[in-house]
Amino acid sequence: MLEFKGRVAIVTGASSGIGRTSAVFYAREGAKVVVSDINKDGGQETVRLIQEAGGEAFFVKTDVAIPADCENLVNRTVEKYGRLDYACNNAGIGGEQNLTAEYSIEGWQKVIAVNLSGVFYCMKFEIPEMLKAGGGAIVNMASILGKVGFAGAPAYVAAKHGVVGLTRDTAIEYAARGIRVNSIGPAFISTPLIAAIEGNEEANNGLLALHPMGRLGKPEEVAELVIWLSSSRASFITGAYYSVDGGYLAR
């Protein structure tokens, strides 16, 4: 039996990597999926993959750093499918690599706008529709860097720590109203976001050494947790942070 049949999910940053795989997995479980990204071609390819597998999906171009775009995403979802049950707020960027005193103001503002404010904007508009539907589940994509530091990435680290805190606060606020909110902390996952690093043998070997399992993660390994946290199997879990990190945080 498909648990999510008749339900509706939004996935942001779904043109590739973790977002695309999560969108495909939601559809695999029977959900109608709204695919969102700034990358139209990649997002439409995700829709195609879902439809070819027999699922239902459509694409809404969204820049999560723009509140009106996030509102439009939710409005389009409800106009099309009549409800919203699940959201995976996954959209994010890596940003520049620089020490704090050398980090550009523009670079800081951009990373915070996408990686932290974007999660807030999405939840601001998602939650009212979930309340109308009688409840729901939100999964916010944080990072292992939502728990620890990483020299040269002050904006990313600050934003992801913020996502973890925002998730906990929102979970408390809506726990009694049927909405569960959790966050996931992937380590370095083999996605287009780190493709350039993987192409550099020395840098890639350095990344591998940070993970006790000796490899990078796969998008599927993160998406499986997204689906589980959205499902009734996680019905008593809210405000939690789960790492998917090959032992990174255990060091």
Domain ranges of the chain: 8-189+222-245
Residues across the chain: 251
If 0-12 CB within 10 Å is exposed, 13-18 middle and 19+ buried, where does residue 218 land? middle
Q: Active site residue: 156, 174, 242, 248, which one?
A: 156
* Sheet bearing 86-89, strands edge to edge: 57-61, 32-37, 8-11, 86-89, 136-141, 179-186, 241-244
Average pLDDT, the chain: 96
Task: Please classify residue 209 by burial: count the beta carbons closer than 10 Å to its beta carbon, then call 0-12 exposed, 13-18 middle and 19+ buried.
Answer: exposed
- 156 as an active site residue: the answer is yes
Tell me, what's the pLDDT at 192?
76
86-127 confidence digits (pLDDT tens)? 999 999 999 999 999 999 999 999 999 999 999 999 999 999
What pLDDT score does 243 carry?
A: 98
53-57, 89-93, 197-201, 235-239: segment of lowest average pLDDT: 197-201
Compute the distance between CA of residue 36 and CA of residue 77 in angstroms, rounded to an integer. Answer: 10
What pLDDT does 16 receive? 96
Specify the CATH number of the domain 8-189+222-245: 3.40.50.720
Torsion of CA 182, 155, 61, 16, to 10 degrees: -70
